Each structure stands twice: as structure tokens, then as C-alpha cells.
Structure 1
Amino acid sequence: MKKRIRILFIVFAFLGLFLTVNLTLAQDFGVEEVATGLDGSLAGAEDPRIVVGRFIQFALGFLGILVVLLIMYAGFLWMTSGGSEDKITRAKKILFNGIIGLIIILSSWALTTFILNRFSDVVGDGGGGTVFTNPSLGFTNPGAGAIGNCAVENIYPEDGQKDIPRNTSILITFQEELELNSVCVNDSGASCACDNSGTCNKINPLVFRLFKSDLGDACTTSSCPSVNTNITELITSVTSDKKTLILSPLNYLGASSGHTNYGFKISGDLRKEGGTSMFLGCSIRNLETSFVVSDILDLEPPIIQSGKVFPAPDNQRDVLGLVSSAVAATAEMDIVACPLVFSPATVISVSPSQGAETATVSLDYKGAINSFKVSVPTDGATKAQLFNAANGALLGIADWNLENKAVFPGYLTLETTSYEAGNLWDIVIRPETSADTLRINNSVYIFSDNSVNNNIKTVTNCSSNSPADLSLQAELIQAVISGHQEVSSNFEANKIRLTAKIAGSGGNNIALSTVGSSFLMIKPFSGGLDRTNLSQALDKKDKARNSGIQFSFNEPINPITVSGSADEVSAVVRVVNNNDAALAANSSCENNSDCRSYKCDNGICRGNYLNGNFSISSNYRTVEFLSNEECGINGCGEKIYCLPVNSNLKVEIKAAGLKSCASSVECVAISPFTSCATSGLGYNTCQNLDGKNYPLANLSSLNGVIDLANNSFDANRDGFSAGPRSFYYENNKDVNRGDDYSWSFFISDEINLSPPKITYISPTQGQVQTSFSEPININFDKLMLSQTLKSGSVNIFNGQDTFNHKLVNLKSSSPSPFGFWIKSENVDTAPLDLELDLTTTTINHTPFAESMTFLVQVGSGVKDIYQNCYKASVGPDCPTTEASCCFGVATTELDSQGNCVF
């Protein structure tokens, strides 16, 4: 009896162990979850494959219950056997078979749950139900798949980033403009358009969800409890372009001791301008990321990294001696024949024979065949056959319809009154004629009988043997192309001479070609020469006037005060004339150089700073300025903007005002800044024993550069924030001044038109990777314009046509979602001269899936610091003979979206 009790105890302990495990595994996808979905709420919300998986789990659970009952019956039978060997043997068999069945069911449950969890990772649940997985195992977080590949351009903290300070803000940049009514709510919880003020600056808690990972998201797909565990006290700010959000927690994240895991979600309810979901068309219908917050507060103010400004500080203008002027490239076109215009295929004659009735023919044909035969076969009077009359080749078979029509798609339709076996029709047509085209770089001109849009009108009744007609045609061509942005033109008789508008060797790269008949003899652009100087750089070499201005911080910066038009951010960052005697706005002037803005218009100085636009990029660390003064066109047909000719410019950047205090009581909690003392700013601040200020900016009146922990800018790099007192001037590095920042440099009258090249790529073409998380590295031979090193593409309008130019993208051979984001770093190469020489670019990404092929794309939308576009065929081991380079092979063949065929 004791032996039986021990055996039964072991059996039920075994069952209890497995049943406990089984219930734990069932929490996410158990019977209750399936029943909840089957009441009607499942429609349109759940992937049917997940429903099937849950049903399988339900069935396995039901079978498990039956097996448990069977095992219990075996125990009962054994306990009541009364020593009968037959009953004991029967009980043992039932118990043995029951345990085997239970093991099979538990194994099936575990396998089904594993597959279902993995599948759920990929498809998501529409409301943010993605399960975060273990990157060390090679599993990615599919919820981050919108980063780079779809709606989101960048985010901070990065997915999976660790050691984030407790007082951080969250930044998200989208690829399209936001509908602000879907972002913010007011104090009463009603949707409103974010206004960067207390009236409407609270986050919509249904759309933006920040939560501790161990507590999970307290909101469902469609609702959020009024009181929940999510962090909802977030203040929202929006940049002027309505693409970047700054979410600032009112309270510190994490804890004073230890690390805290956080999840962050943006639901599909976020809308872009126009009202559709921001994630419409994405493989993942929301965004989900995670990060780890440390127990440290960030009290270190941001700095501009030493040597990370362009142009570099320059104290003296170069001494120049001109050797030879730049020469513009030229080309010629001889009109030797009349160009062809488009004419559709037309029917010349339809001749019936062999007893056939008369017929009419309508054409749907674009080929070169000029004669056909249609016959009714003798062995099938309900059919019609189409032949090439020249060689007898069968082109198609058609059924006669009720209207006595035989339709041959892509060729013609023949209609007659009646038909019978043996009938034959001979058809003669004049094939379609394609229009001739002329291409000058990115502009395509089509020859036509009218001059609408970009058409070039042809001479009426033109004769190729008439010099007068050919001369008139040259005049008509020149009249249209005279408006081209890159070339000027003139004609004489039947010759047209083209000249690049910008002198220099870059003009030799202007493409000139025709498609169609041989109506033109072309001499391509050549002869362009750059200006040569005998120059002596007394300090740093003066920079070309098509330079962008660039400066990089040591950490991410709040973009609100440093990105936008010059007018929008002039109180914080501006570019001005470095002459202290330069005149303010509305002063009388004679030359542009007289004015602080370098703009003298009708004898009056216009503005106090250069006009243009500031942008932030490279994970919110790099700020760039481009002027709005047009001065040329790059090789992709995009406008180039220039700084003033032969100018001496200064960049001024303001620190933010600091939080004030009335007494030391307000400073007690922020040790070591526990003393409220005079600051030299006109108000008291919390200070340490050395008189250094607490770095927190005055957020109620933000007027300068701050980092994501709201610390004010440290211009002189002494580790503390002095506030907006005086300018630290990088050119002479007086550390006793600060914490506003400035540096100056000289601009020449040259234009740099040399395009950038890729010199290094890792991993290399075709390389097999063993690391799931290793970043992709790309080196350029020049300093790059950081704002173009981002994902997606740009549409460039050259004045006549719009062209799509790719940027930097990462794709896979599978639809499995993954996210990526791009950073860049500027490098001073040997010999070190304190000037930035080239840019290295890093593509970071969520962990790759196993056994996948990935494609890295760098397109012609990428530009160097002089705004020259990258020629997409220039890279390691790839010749420059074609327009593109796909997988190490020069090619002109791309898919319909302009991508390499993958």
C-alpha cells in the first residue's frame, strides 16, 4: 500500500509540475484569449494564422484535460483494485499510456507556442503587441521595423540603447509631416494641434506609450485607463517643419539605484498631414522600441567638439595670384535631317479575298510590321487567325464574338458583317512612329507638332534636303533649350552651340544625347578647365562659396532652437558678417560687404544675418546651414546655394539662460549646487562651492542651445554652464569667455564642383556575415553634407522635370521587418592640420535574421559639403562607365522604382 501511495505521489507531483508550466506558457495565448477574439472583436484585428494557432492551443489544452482525467481514473482503479492483478495491470497500462499522451501533448503545446510567439513578433497586433526578443540569439525587434524603412527617420534613445540618463527626453523624426491633432491633447484630454505652449502640449496617451517593461503597456488597442502605470506626464514640442517631436518627461525616469528597462510605442493612430496613418503602407503598423535607463542624472552640459566645425576657424584671407581663368565647356549639335514626331499606327487598306465580306480594322499595335493577314481556318469556322504577311508567322488566334469581331490583343480588331471557313483579309498599315528626343543632362525634350510643355515644335512639311528647313529647325530647338539652367545656347544656320553656364571642368560631364532617328550630329561637351591660382594660405585655405556650414556636438541636442529657417532660429544661431563695423538692418549701404547680412538692396541693408536654413542630423548631433542664394546646378540638376563671394563670415551660437533661484532652499535637492548666489546673468542661480552654475536651462523662456537633459550649452568646454554672457571665440580660444560660441572663416569666389566618391565599404560585396548586429560602414573621400545621409529618397525638380534620387537605404531579401538608422563622423586625416577631410558613415540596425541577404544602397540624393551629388556608379571595384553600380557591376538597368534589381 505504501508503495502505491509513493508511486501515485510521484505521478501527481509530475503532473502538477507540468500543468504549472503549461499554464504559464498559456498566459499570452490561452483559452481565454481565444474566446475573447471569437466574440466578434477578432474581425479586422487578428491575423487569421494566429487565430488558427490559438485554436490549436485550445484543442491541445482540451486534450490535456482529458488525459489528466484518464490518469486520475487509472489511479482510482489502482487504489480500489483490492489486490486484483487484472485491475492493477489494467490501471498500469492506462497510467503508462496517459503519461505518454501527456508528454506528447505538452511537447506539441510548447512547439505551437514557440512558433506562435515567433510569428507574433513578425506580424504584430496592430495596437503594439509585439514581443521584444533576445538580440543575442539573432532575433530582431520587428516593432522597430518602421525606423529607416518606412515612417520613422530617426529616434533617440536608439532601440536597445543602454545607460540612458534619468533626465533624458525622447526624440522622434518622421519622414513626413505630422497631423498635430493626432499628437497632442489639452489639459482636459481633448485632441488639439500642438502649439509648443501650455495650452496644447500634452501627449495623446493612446498614441504615445512610455512604460516600464516589467509592468507592460497599460493601454489596449483602442483605449487607455484614466489612471494607469504608463508614463503620461510628457510635454511635447514640435519643430517648425512638423517632422520632429521632443517628448520631455516631467519627472525623472528610472530609479536612484539600479537600471530600469523601458518600452516605448507609437500606435497606428498617429496621422500624417492629410489624415492617413503615419504607418500606412509599412510592414509593421506601429513603432515599438526599448531602452535601458541608468540611475545617473546627466548634469554635463553639451559642447561643440573641438575641431568639428566646417569651415575651420581661419584668421587670414589667402593671398591669390591668378594664373588662368576657368574655361567653360562647350558642345555642338548639327541638324542634318528633320526630326520625327509621334504618329500612331494607321490602317492603309483592308482587302477581302476568298469570298470574304468587307471588313474594318482598328489598331492596338506599336510594332514595326506593316502588313497582316487574317483568315478563317477551314477546320474551325468559329476561329480567326492572324499572320505576319511578310513571313507567314502566326501571331495569334481569336474567337469570333457575337458582334462578328475577332480581337487580337496588342495587334488589331477586325469586324465584318459575316464570315465563313476559308475567308481571308489582307491588311496594310503604316506602323507607329516614335518621337525623337533630345536630352541635356536631366532635361528631356520631345519633338512634336506643337510646343506644349517641354516639346520642341518641328518645321511643318519639313524636308531634310532643304537647308532653310534645317536652319528653321535649329532656331526652334534653340528657342526651347535657351531656358535650360545649366547651359546657354546660340545657333547659326543648322548648327547650335552650347556653353556650360558655370565655367570649369565640371561642365565636361554634362550629358548630351538623342534617342530616335539620326537627325542630329553631336559633339559632346568638352574643353572645360578649372581656374588655376597661385595662392598662399596664410592660415587655413579659404573655402569655396558653395560650402555648407557645419558644426557637431558631443551629444544629441534639442532641435527646437537650432533647426528651421534663419528667421526662425536667429535668436539662437546665425551667420553674420565678421566685420564688427558691419551695418545693421535698414542702414544705408553701397556694397553687400557693408551689411551685417551681406545683403545691400537698393542702398539699404536687409536683415541682420544671412538668409538660409539650419538643419539637424546624425542622430541630432550635427547642425548645418545652407544659404538661400542660388548660384548653380549640380550634376543631378539640383540647385546649389552659395555664401557671399570673397566674404569673411562668423557663426554665432547662443547658450540658454539658466534656471534662477530666490534662496538656497530651492537648491538643497540638487547637490552639489546647493548655494543660491549671484551669477553675473542678472539673476541668482544654484551654484557649487566653486561658484559654478547648476546647468539646467530656464525652460519657461528657452533662448539657447540645450541638450536632451535640458542642460545649457558649454561653449568654452570647461565642463560647466556659464549661461549667455559673452562669446567664446574659437579662433583665439579665450577660456575666460563664455558660454556663447562663435568662430569665423573666409570664403573665396570659387565653386567646388568635384563629386564625392565612396572609398571603403564594410562588409564588402558578397561577404558572409556572422554577426547579427555589426554595423555597416561607408567611407567617402570628401566631407559630406550630413543632412543627406539619411534613409529614403528625395524628389528633385530641375525646372522642367522631377527626378527621384535615392539616399542611404538598407533592404533584405525577405519581408521580415528590421529597423536601421544612420550616423556620420567627420575625420581629420593624416597629416593632421585641424581641418576635416572626409566623412565616415555608419548604418546601425536592429539584429538581422539568420540566413538572409541584405542590400545597402547609396544613391545620388547624397551630397558632399559643397552640395555636389554622389554619382551612384562610383565605388570600390566598380567602373564609372555606367549610371549605376549594382553589386559590383556597372549597369544602367534598374527596376521601376529606380533600385538595383535584387
Structure 2
Amino acid sequence: MEKSKRYFLLDFVLFTTKIKASMLYKLIQGRIFQIAVFSILLAVAIFLLPNFALAQVDTGIDQAAGIGLSDTDPIIVIARVIRVALGFLGIIALVLVLYAGFLYMTSAGAPDKIDKAKKILTSAAIGLIIILASFAIVSFILNFLTNSTSGTSSGPGGGGTTFGGGVPVSGNKIIEYHYPESGQQDVPRNTSIIITFKEEMNVGQLIKDNNGNGTYGDFTDSNLNGVLDTGEVYDSVNEAYVLLYKEADGPAAATLVTEVFATTADNKTFMFKPRPPDYIGSPSEEIWYTVALTSALQKANLTPAFSNPAGYYWSFLVSTIFDTTPPKITNVIPYPATTEPRNVIVQINFNEAINPLSGSGSYVSPGNFPDDFENIEINNLSDGSDVNGNFYISNKYRTIEFLTETLCGRNSCGDGVYCLPATSTIEALVKAATVIPGQNEATFPFDGIVDMASNSLDGNNDGTSQGPEDQDPADAFVEPFNANPGASDALTQGDSYRWDFGTSDEILLSSPNIINVLPAIGSNNIQTNFKPAATFDRLMMSSSMTKHSPPSLGSVALYSVPEISFWLSKTDDIVNKETTIEISHSPFGDTAEYTPEFNSGLKDIYQNCFYPGSGPVSGTNTGVCTPTPTSTPTAFPYCCDGALSTTACN
């Protein structure tokens, strides 16, 4: 009897399933295709809607957020509902496939049942393909909308903007950084526009040699005053490849800003400086501007700079003011009057972005070469000699570092370590630039440190730029500002900045470690603008922070599908001698996964590379994933997602 009940129960279940599936098939057989097509059309309509509708309509999002309701854009909510509905339809289609298989298996060779099973299977398979395609399209559109609506909202005179201008991946592989940043606001009207490429570029495509002397980036300084006076011929931006325009006007030839002085020192970093009377912006309203690099732009080897047919462009908001505030030094490494191992680098950090044309270059004693960089000096006071080396600018143009050319060892990656003179007193001198009389603006070429508005360094921190100490014999500033403890005669110290430190004969060769990461490994529901970060137990070498965007090699990566654009910056905890490296990026997508990578290209201020790679244990920031690169029989030199690995992280 029990056995009969079991078989009965089974028969009942099969019979019930058969009836319900048949009814379901008849009800939705002709609807799957219709619903999927409707979803595609609705998604496309939503995709197009922001371009012409939401720009004029107040959706009430801000008011909703103000009373505690969700501030998610209604368009994104609708797109998410469509995606859920398509997922439900996919489940139904899968059930129909299973039902068709069941009919076929139980047909017992009956032709009508076999034909019916094949018909259902064919229809369900076609419906499933359409649903999967619809799901992919809606997901793509949803990610696009998420990125678009996460951009910076517009101000007067322009529409909204997104990070990287909508084509960030192409530029992300060739552009190391640019100023102003994408979406940056409160940009002064007298700013310079700086673009640093990872490789040398075809300079003639970026700069017009208007004076015909074969040198790109100069002007006929007939008055020999370092000022671009009215009537003097200057090299300008090549608007066939580099376009600057108001975002609201678009890139039509008649609306381009063309009075732009252009120059470069190494064919990798370019400065574009709008000239009066065509300073960008307005005295009465804030205006969005766009810089566009066309897809025809080439590297120095004549290969295309961008793979994207749209090239690369970004926007920023220009304020109504001029920047007349000079830059200041916030801290230096090594600290004044301290003694460090001789493989320490010299690092200078500023309170704002510094024009890289004033803060980077090479020096070879005795400075007889015309291209020698002399805006910063590193001197050995113990024997009176100059120290040869190279100056690098990084950290969004806020940090300048000096590295000598004297090889003295190898770090754990096998890279060369370079040393300052041993057991010596080293002087570092950061020079203020010559200024136009009565102004904070420096003359050109820059003979000292200037900011993006060409204001000369304010070394003595008095709020004005006096220029170098010998510029005006009538003033009281006869020596550089002395940052050493107990330095006297502050009233006579000018805007150049100096400090001393000592070196030992020690060479410190041990690797830095990551002690904290944000967000934690495996985190979910991260805000779209959250900046991934890693904190190291040492002060880090800023110029080792480079973007890893294959095929371009670098020390920090942000992997995702699709790729997004990102930039790097650091903050230092001087007291605890720790550095936190942050990854700024275009907005995260709605459902994508992201993998930050900090690799062995990173170095500390003693030039030790981040290898082996230690960091927090998976799921927590309290434990430590401690690699063992030379253990026997198995080495674990890598730490991937908080777990030891014998191979590099995938």
C-alpha cells in the first residue's frame, strides 16, 4: 500500500507538471519574443532619453534625497526593472526547454509527441537566445547610464560632464595624467592646461612652429623680458589635433579657443596656456570647457596614439576668478636636520599642482649643458660639489623627487639602487622663479618653481611672490628661506627654499608592506565614486606610482570589464611614516567587479620595491598575508586576495 501511494504521488506530480507546463507554453509561446523585443525598444528609448529630455526636465531627485527617499535616477530604476523581468523570462524559457526534453523522453516513439517536443524546444531556444541578447543590451545600457549619471553636474554655461569624456579607456593607455582633471571645478581663468603622455609624441601635431625657427614651444622675445608681449610671434596649439572649446558651443571651428601658447620640454609633457584677451572663462559666470585630442594624433614613431575613433576628451568647470596665490611647500623628505641612509631620495611636496615644465629635468655637474635643469639644486656641503641626478614630478603634479645617478646596490626586484654621498651634509635648494615686476606671475622660460597659473614659489610663506633673492636689490630678501630648525634672520629670507640633512654610510635594503586596504577584500555594494586605497608601512616614492594599463607597464592597476580610466595620488602620514596610495577613477558600473593591483613597481623612499607582496588577510584588515619568497621547498612571494600564492596574481 505504501508503495502504491508513492507511485501515485509520483504520477500526480508528473501529471500536474504536464498540465501546467502545457498551459504555460500555450500562454507564453507567442509572448516571449514580443516581451523581449519590447524590452529592447524600451531600453533603447531610455538610452536615448538623457540626451534630449532629462537635460530640461526636473525629475525631483534632489528633493527626494532631501526628504530621505532614494536619489537613484528613475531611468536607472526602470532599466533595473527591465533587467529583472528579462531574468524572469529567461527562467521561464529554461523551464520550457526542460519541459520539451521531458516530452521527448516520454514520447515512447509517438510521432505527434516528438513533433510537439521539437516545436516547443525550438521556440524556447529562440526565445532564450533573444532574452539573453536583450539582457546583455539592457545591462550595457544600465552600466552606461550609471556612468553617465554619476558624472559631475553642470554649472552655468555648460552641460554635465563625465570622467574621461566618455572615451577614457583609449586615453588611459597613453595618457599618464592631465591638468585640470576631468570634472574638476573652480579652475582659474589663467590656468595652464598640461597633458603628460607615457611616450614621446609627434610634436608637430600638438604645436605649431609659427615663428619657423624649427624649435617647438618658443616665442620671439624681442624685448628679452621673458614676457609674451603684444605683437610677438609665438608657437601655438595645433587646433587640427588639440581642440579647446566651451562645452555648450561644441567643437565647431568658429568656437575654438585658438590664442593658446604651446610648449614642451621633452615631447611627452605639453603645456597649453590660453593668452589674453582670450583667457578662458568669464568674469560673470562659470563655464564648462572641453579639451579634445583627435584620433589622428600620433606618437613620435608615427603610430596612432588612440585606438578609439573618438580620440580622447574631457571637461572641467572654469570659475570667474584669476589665480594669483603662489604655491607653497608643505613638507620635504628627508626632514631638515635629520640623518638618513644614503639611498634615500629627496622628495618635495606642494600644496597644489606644480607646472611640470618648472619642476622636472636632469642636472649634470657643472651645469654647462643648455638643457640642464637648475630650478632645484642638490649640493654636497661636505666637499662643495654638486650632486648629479634627475628630477621627476608625480602625484598629480604635486610632488617633485630627486634621484642620483650613483649606483650603490640592488633591491629585492634586482633594480638598481642609487645613493647620495655617504656620511655627508646635503643641501637642497628649491628656487623661486623670476616674476614680472609687481606681479606673482613668473617670466618664461621658468627659472624656478611655478604653479599651473605661473605664480612663482612662495618659499617664505608670506602670501606673495618676490622671486629669487637677487631679482630686486632694493628689497630686504637677501637669502633663501631656511627651513632648518633654529634658522635666524627670517625677515631677510626670501622665496627660494632650502634645508639641510645628513647621510650615513648605511644602505637600507628591506621591502615595504601594505598594512591596510580599502575597501576590504571581497567587499560588496561599494559606492560608485569610492577610491580604492592601500596604506604602506613606509613613506613611498611618488614617482614609482605609475598606471599599469597593458601594454603600458606600471605599478598600480585597476582591472575591470569594461575597463575604466583611473589616476593615482598619495597622502603621507609624516608622524607614523606611512603613505596611502589612492586610485581615483571614472564611476564604477552597477554590477561589475573591480580588482586593484599594487605590484612590485612600487618603491619606498629608499628605492626598495614592493616584493615580496605582503598585505591584509582576505576578509579582514587585521591579519597579515606574509609571503616567503625563499622558503624551502616552496616559495610564496605573492599575496593575492589576501592569500599566499606561488605565482603572480591573476
Q: Distance in 2 between matches of 1:156 and 1:571?
A: 24
Q: Distance in 1 between matches of 2:310 and 2:441?
A: 37
Q: Residue deviations 1:196-231, cap 9 Å, x none?
A: 44577311102111111111111xxxxxx4xx1111
Q: Tell me the residue number matched to 2:538.
A: 782
Is 2:569 the partner of 1:823?
A: yes
Q: Tell me the residue number matched to 1:717.
A: 461
> Identity over aligned residues, as a percent?
35
User: Structure 1 residues 783, 733: closer, same or farther in 2, change over 3 A?
Assistant: farther
The DSSP-based 3-state class of the residue aligned with 1:738 is strand
Contact preservation (8 Å) 2:152, 2:183: no
Q: Distance in 2 between matches of 1:287 and 1:121?
A: 20
Matches within 5 A, 1:113-128: none
Q: Tell me the residue number matched to 1:229.
A: 255
Which blocks of at least 5 consecutive residues in structure 2 are unaligned?
1-44, 53-133, 154-160, 221-232, 365-370, 470-478, 618-624, 629-635
Contact preservation (8 Å) 1:259, 1:295: yes
Q: Distance in 1 between matches of 2:170 and 2:176?
A: 6
Tell me how far 1:850 sits from its aligned partner.
0.7
User: Structure 1 residues 279, 781: closer, same or farther in 2, change over 3 A?
Assistant: same
Q: Distance in 2 between matches of 1:739 and 1:26?
A: 51
Is 2:452 the partner of 1:708?
A: yes
Tell me how far 1:168 sits from its aligned partner.
0.8
Q: Tell me the residue number matched to 2:529.
A: 773
Q: Tell me the residue number matched to 2:609.
A: 869
User: Structure 1 residues 749, 777: closer, same or farther in 2, change over 3 A?
Assistant: same
Tell me how far 1:269 sits from its aligned partner.
1.8
The DSSP-based 3-state class of the residue aligned with 2:182 is coil
Q: Residue deviations 1:666-716, cap 9 Å, x none?
A: xxxxxxxxxxxxxxxxxxx33xxxxxxx211123x5321111101111110
Matches within 5 A, 1:843-862: 843-862=583-602
Contact preservation (8 Å) 1:164, 1:293: yes
Within the candidate set 634, 641, 644, 1:890 is matched to 644
Within the candidate set 329, 341, 363, 1:566 is matched to 363
Q: Tell me the residue number matched to 2:8.
A: none
The DSSP-based 3-state class of the residue aligned with 2:186 is coil
Q: Tell me the residue number matched to 1:647.
A: 424
Q: Tell me the residue number matched to 1:158.
A: 181
Contact preservation (8 Å) 2:163, 2:586: yes
Matches within 5 A, 1:90-105: none
Contact preservation (8 Å) 1:148, 1:791: no
Q: Tell me the residue number matched to 1:635.
A: 412
Q: Tell me the residue number matched to 1:625.
A: 402
User: Structure 1 residues 287, 148: closer, same or farther in 2, change over 3 A?
Assistant: closer
Q: Tell me the residue number matched to 1:754.
A: 510
Tell me how far 1:26 sits from its aligned partner.
12
The one-letter code sitting in structure 2 at the alignment partner of 1:555 is E
Q: Tell me the residue number matched to 1:194.
A: 216
Q: Distance in 1 between matches of 2:164 and 2:407?
A: 44
Q: Tell me the residue number matched to 1:808.
A: 556
The DSSP-based 3-state class of the residue aligned with 2:543 is helix
Q: Distance in 2 between matches of 1:569 and 1:192?
A: 20
Q: Tell me the residue number matched to 1:456.
A: none
Q: Distance in 2 between matches of 1:173 and 1:629?
A: 27
Tell me how far 1:144 sits from its aligned partner.
5.0
Q: Distance in 2 between matches of 1:806 and 1:556?
A: 22
Tell me how far 1:658 sits from its aligned partner.
1.3
Contact preservation (8 Å) 1:615, 1:787: yes
The DSSP-based 3-state class of the residue aligned with 2:422 is coil
Contact preservation (8 Å) 1:185, 1:203: yes
Q: Tell me the residue number matched to 2:200.
A: 177
Tell me how far 1:183 sits from its aligned partner.
1.4
Is 2:361 the partner of 1:577?
A: no
User: Structure 1 residues 139, 620: closer, same or farther in 2, change over 3 A?
Assistant: closer
Please identify the structure whose Cα radius of gyration is greater: 1
Q: Distance in 2 between matches of 1:141 and 1:562?
A: 26
Q: Tell me the residue number matched to 1:211.
A: 245
Q: Tell me the residue number matched to 1:588.
A: none
The DSSP-based 3-state class of the residue aligned with 2:187 is coil
Q: Distance in 2 between matches of 1:858 and 1:26?
A: 37
User: Structure 1 residues 888, 25: closer, same or farther in 2, change over 3 A?
Assistant: closer
User: Structure 1 residues 160, 655: closer, same or farther in 2, change over 3 A?
Assistant: same
User: Structure 1 residues 768, 788: closer, same or farther in 2, change over 3 A?
Assistant: same
Is 2:451 the partner of 1:695?
A: no
The one-letter code sitting in structure 2 at the alignment partner of 1:264 is V
Q: Tell me the residue number matched to 2:296.
A: 269
Q: Distance in 2 between matches of 1:285 and 1:175?
A: 19
Q: Distance in 1 between matches of 2:344 and 2:51?
A: 60
RMSD over aligned CA atoms reads 3.3
Tell me how far 1:136 sits from its aligned partner.
7.0
Contact preservation (8 Å) 1:184, 1:191: no
Q: Tell me the residue number matched to 1:735.
A: 490
Contact preservation (8 Å) 1:657, 1:704: yes
Q: Distance in 1 between matches of 2:166 and 2:179?
A: 15
User: Structure 1 residues 734, 622: closer, same or farther in 2, change over 3 A?
Assistant: farther
The one-letter code sitting in structure 1 at the alignment partner of 2:568 is I
Report the number of matched residues: 469
Contact preservation (8 Å) 1:634, 1:867: yes
User: Structure 1 residues 255, 120: closer, same or farther in 2, change over 3 A?
Assistant: farther
User: Structure 1 residues 27, 784: closer, same or farther in 2, change over 3 A?
Assistant: closer
Q: Distance in 1 between matches of 2:537 and 2:50?
A: 56
Contact preservation (8 Å) 1:859, 1:872: no
Q: Distance in 2 between matches of 1:769 and 1:193?
A: 53
Is 2:265 the partner of 1:239?
A: yes
Q: Distance in 1 between matches of 2:545 and 2:489?
A: 34
Q: Tell me the residue number matched to 1:43.
A: none
Q: Distance in 2 between matches of 1:769 and 1:139?
A: 21
The one-letter code sitting in structure 2 at the alignment partner of 1:288 is Y
Q: Distance in 2 between matches of 1:724 and 1:263?
A: 36
Contact preservation (8 Å) 1:139, 1:848: no
User: Structure 1 residues 26, 780: closer, same or farther in 2, change over 3 A?
Assistant: closer
Q: Distance in 2 between matches of 1:187 and 1:149?
A: 31
Contact preservation (8 Å) 2:434, 2:456: yes
Q: Residue deviations 1:323-357, cap 9 Å, x none?
A: xxxxxxxxxxxxxxxxxxxxxxxxxxxxxxxxxxx
The structure with more strand, counted as a fraction of residues? 1
Q: Tell me the residue number matched to 1:94.
A: none
Contact preservation (8 Å) 1:142, 1:284: no
Tell me how far 1:119 sits from its aligned partner.
6.7
Is 2:285 the partner of 1:258?
A: yes
Q: Tell me the residue number matched to 1:838.
A: 578
Q: Residue deviations 1:411-465, cap 9 Å, x none?
A: xxxxxxxxxxxxxxxxxxxxxxxxxxxxxxxxxxxxxxxxxxxxxxxxxxxxxxx
User: Structure 1 residues 159, 793: closer, same or farther in 2, change over 3 A?
Assistant: closer
* Length-normalised TM-score, structure 1: 0.49
Is 2:316 the partner of 1:291?
A: yes
Q: Distance in 2 between matches of 1:819 and 1:291?
A: 16
The structure with more helix, counted as a fraction of residues? 2
The DSSP-based 3-state class of the residue aligned with 1:181 is helix
The one-letter code sitting in structure 2 at the alignment partner of 1:890 is L
User: Structure 1 residues 571, 142: closer, same or farther in 2, change over 3 A?
Assistant: closer
The DSSP-based 3-state class of the residue aligned with 1:275 is coil
Q: Distance in 2 between matches of 1:284 and 1:783?
A: 41
Q: Tell me the residue number matched to 1:489.
A: none
User: Structure 1 residues 184, 278: closer, same or farther in 2, change over 3 A?
Assistant: same
Contact preservation (8 Å) 2:163, 2:314: no
